[in-house]
Amino acid sequence: MTSPSGDSGPAMTYAGSWLAEAGRRISTAAVPGSLEFLLACYFLGRTPVPGLRQETRQLSASWLEENRARLGQTPVLAAIGYGLADSSPGTQSTARSMLASGLRRLMSRNPFTDRLTFAYDLPQVVGIGLGARALAADLPEFSEWFAGTLQDERLQPSGRFQALLYEHVRALLTGQIAAAPIRQDDDVSIIALRYWMASAGTVRPPDADEHRNLQKRITGEALRTDLDQLSVSRTALIYRAVTAILDASVDQVILSRSHLVAILERFEAAMRRWRFDTDSLQKPIIWPVTAEREVQDILWLVLRSVFDDVVEEETLPKVGHSTYRADFGIPSLGVLIEVKYARKGSDFKTIETEVMIDSVAYLHGVTAYREIVVFIYDASASVQEHDTTAAALRGIDSISDVIIVSRPGQLA
**According to the model, what pLDDT value does residue 123 have?**
95
Residue 26 has pLDDT above 70, yes or no: yes
**According to the model, what pLDDT value does residue 409 have?**
77
**According to the model, what pLDDT value does residue 318 have?**
62
Look at residues 4, 1, 23 and name the one whose alpha carbon lies nearest to residue 13: 1
- Exposed e or buried b per residue across 327-352, where buried means at least 16 C-beta atoms within 10 angstroms of its C-beta: bbbbbbbbbbbbbbbbeeeebbeebb
Q: Identify the structural domains of the chain with CATH numbers, from first to last.
A: 10-253 (1.50.10), 257-406 (3.40.1350)
DSSP 2: B
Q: Give whole-number Cα distances, 218 to 12, 19, 192, 204, 243, in Å.
A: 14, 13, 6, 18, 11
Q: Is 259 exposed, middle or buried (0-12, 13-18, 19+ CB in 10 A)?
A: middle
Nearest-angstrom CA–CA distance, 214 and 412 = 46
How sure is the predictor about 158, in pLDDT bands with cuts at 50, 70 and 90?
A: confident
Residue 37: which region, alpha, beta or left (left: phi > 0; alpha: psi -120 to 50)? alpha
Residues shown for the chain? 412
| Radius of gyration in angstroms for the set of CA atoms belonging to the chain, rounded to a whole number | 25
Please report, rounded to a whole number, the percentage of residues in the chain having pLDDT higher than 70: 89
Nearest-angstrom CA–CA distance, 336 and 312 = 10
**According to the model, what pLDDT value does residue 295 have?**
95
Between 283 and 89, whose confidence is greater? 283
Strand partners, 338: 374
**According to the model, what pLDDT value does residue 282 have?**
84
**According to the model, what pLDDT value does residue 3 have?**
45
Residue 1 has pLDDT above 60, yes or no: no
Average confidence score pLDDT of the chain: 85
How sure is the predictor about 246, in pLDDT bands with cuts at 50, 70 and 90?
A: confident
**According to the model, what pLDDT value does residue 319 have?**
66
How sure is the predictor about 234, in pLDDT bands with cuts at 50, 70 and 90?
A: very high
Helix (DSSP H) and strand (DSSP E) numbers for the chain: 16, 5
Q: Are 406 and 381 in contact (CB under 8 A)?
A: yes
Residue 231: which region, alpha, beta or left (left: phi > 0; alpha: psi -120 to 50)? beta
The arithmetic mean of pLDDT across residues 45-60, rounded, is 79
Residue 2 has pLDDT above 50, yes or no: no
The secondary element (H helix, E strand) that includes residue 95 is helix 89-106
Residue 13 has pLDDT above 90, yes or no: no
Identity of the residue numbered 344:
K
pLDDT, tens digit (0-9, with 9 covering 90-100), for 291-349: 999 999 999 999 988 887 888 887 676 666 567 788 999 888 889 999 999 999 999 99
Residue 6: which region, alpha, beta or left (left: phi > 0; alpha: psi -120 to 50)? left
Range with lowest mean pLDDT among 83-87, 203-207, 247-251, 346-350: 247-251
Please report, rounded to a whole number, the percentage of residues in the chain having pLDDT higher than 90: 43
Q: Are 261 and 394 in contact (CB under 8 A)?
A: no
Residue 61 has pLDDT above 80, yes or no: yes
Q: Cα 403–408–409 angle (5° rounding)?
A: 135
How sure is the predictor about 116, in pLDDT bands with cuts at 50, 70 and 90?
A: low
**According to the model, what pLDDT value does residue 173 have?**
93
What are residue 157's phi and psi, to 5 degrees?
-60, 145
How sure is the predictor about 42, in pLDDT bands with cuts at 50, 70 and 90?
A: very high
Task: Tell me the three-class secondary structure of 110-152, residue by residue.
Answer: CCCCCCCCHHHCHHHHHHHHHHHHHCCCCCHHHHHHHHHHHHC
How sure is the predictor about 258, in pLDDT bands with cuts at 50, 70 and 90?
A: confident
**According to the model, what pLDDT value does residue 30 have?**
86
Q: Are strands 335-342 and 371-378 parallel, antiparallel or unpaired?
A: parallel
Residue 366 has pLDDT above 80, yes or no: no
The arithmetic mean of pLDDT across residues 105-122, rounded, is 83
**According to the model, what pLDDT value does residue 12 have?**
54
**According to the model, what pLDDT value does residue 62 have?**
86
- Give CA torsion, residues 124, 130, 135, 139, to 10 deg: 50
The arithmetic mean of pLDDT across residues 11-39, rounded, is 83
Strand partners, 392: none
